Amino acid sequence: MVQKLIRLLLLCVFMVTLSIATPVSAQEAVGITIVPPKLELFSNPGDTINESIRVKNVSGLPQTYSIVVEDFRSSGEEGQVVLEETETNAYSLQSWIKLSAPAIVVQPNEEVLFPFAINVPKDAEPGGHYASILFQIGSLDPIPGVTSVRSRIGALILLRTSGDVKEDANIESFDAPVYQQRGPVEFSLRVKNNGTTHIRPGGTVVVTNIFGKKVAELPLSALNVFPGSVRKMNTLWEKENLFGMYTATLVATYGQQNLPLTASIKFTVASYTGIGLLVLGVIAGYFFIISLVQGRGRLRQALKVILTGK
């Protein structure tokens, strides 16, 4: 019985050790960084654009990276990227990209420059085109009978092709909590892109108090909004000690023509303690004025008696 317990204990120790050791070596095997993680480019139909990506092996082992190009699209209001292996829409870019090699070998802590070209067709559709160049450890071909988990990292390519590009966006919503007891205050902006290319709205959120005095000017988060999508952008007013009624005004522009995006909202920040003190102050002021008026009346009556004897 004792021997069985000892063998069981040793087996448990072995399994725990294995579960701890395996992820460490796996992390070292997949270490890779790429710069830049995103390229925003402009072209005319018929152009050839030559660019490159810096790839660094930050693991302790030599690595072979297979390279592939896939289109991507935006999904959700937080800007999530969804890869698509096949061309699915007019915004496709993958077939225009020519890689300098299908794979590269990078030594530990070595950084290499990976060139690629974008051959824009002469009849290219004006507007945005999107793809990602993906670096994957090992072969792209699956091994029969073996289930594998692919570890990939990609650089996003955002290309705008000149021509009759439609730039059209609108504000779906701009809001903040109508009432809260104290700061900070978070403003939420949702922008819908109805155009044919990506946009990046830029501007500020201007906050004024009840007297119209500007008390804060907050920069808008500069985020891309892709065609046909809605993007949420949050702006934080970090000040905590606030009291009163405020107005927040969005002053922003987008696109090559700096088209305007404007909206305004009202909100109140006041703690229950502050509201209580304000009410007490108003009540105290009211009774002070009443007593002051009554006091002046008695004073006038006394002066009249003194001067007239009546």
Mean pLDDT of 219-233: 96
Instruction: Please report the beta strands in the chain, taking only residues with DSSP state E, as ranges in sequence order.
Output: 32-35, 38-43, 48-57, 63-75, 80-84, 97-99, 103-106, 111-119, 127-137, 152-161, 169-175, 179-180, 185-193, 202-208, 214-219, 230-237, 244-254, 259-269
What integer pLDDT is reported at residue 87 of this predicted model? 75
Q: What are the Cα distances from residue 283, in Å, to 12, 273, 286? A: 73, 15, 5
Letter string b/e over residues 20-46, b meaning 16 or more CB atoms within 10 A of that residue's CB: eeeeeeeeeeebbebeeeebebebeee
What integer pLDDT is reported at residue 29 of this predicted model? 34
Reported pTM: 0.76
What integer pLDDT is reported at residue 151 of this predicted model? 77
Tell which wins on pLDDT, 10 or 63: 63
- Domain shared by 40 and 120, yes or no: yes
State yes or no: pLDDT of 143 exceeds 90: no
- The CATH number of residue 190's host domain is 2.60.40.10
Mean pLDDT of 106-126: 97
Answer with the one of 116, 135, 161 that is the final residue of a domain.
Answer: 161
What integer pLDDT is reported at residue 51 of this predicted model? 98
Tell which wins on pLDDT, 129 or 30: 129
State yes or no: pLDDT of 179 exceeds 60: yes
Mean pLDDT of 178-202: 97
Residue 22 lies in a domain: no
State yes or no: pLDDT of 193 exceeds 70: yes
Residue 277 lies in a domain: no
- Domain shared by 242 and 179, yes or no: yes
Confidence of residue 140 (pLDDT cuts 50, 70, 90): low
- Distance from C-alpha of 133 to C-alpha of 142, rounded to nearest angstrom: 19
- Domain shared by 80 and 146, yes or no: yes
- Domain shared by 207 and 131, yes or no: no
- In tens, the pLDDT along 28-81 reads 335 899 999 999 999 999 999 999 999 999 988 999 999 999 999 999 999 999
User: How many domains does the chain fold into?
Assistant: 2
Residue 300 lies in a domain: no
- Domain shared by 102 and 221, yes or no: no
- Domain shared by 136 and 244, yes or no: no
Mean pLDDT of 79-98: 90
Residue 294 lies in a domain: no
At residue 233, the 3 state secondary structure works out as: strand
Confidence of residue 126 (pLDDT cuts 50, 70, 90): very high
Residue 304 lies in a domain: no
Confidence of residue 148 (pLDDT cuts 50, 70, 90): very low
- Structure tokens given for 60: 């302790």
Confidence of residue 130 (pLDDT cuts 50, 70, 90): very high
What integer pLDDT is reported at residue 289 of this predicted model? 75
Q: Which domain holds residue 143?
A: 28-161
Residue 13 lies in a domain: no
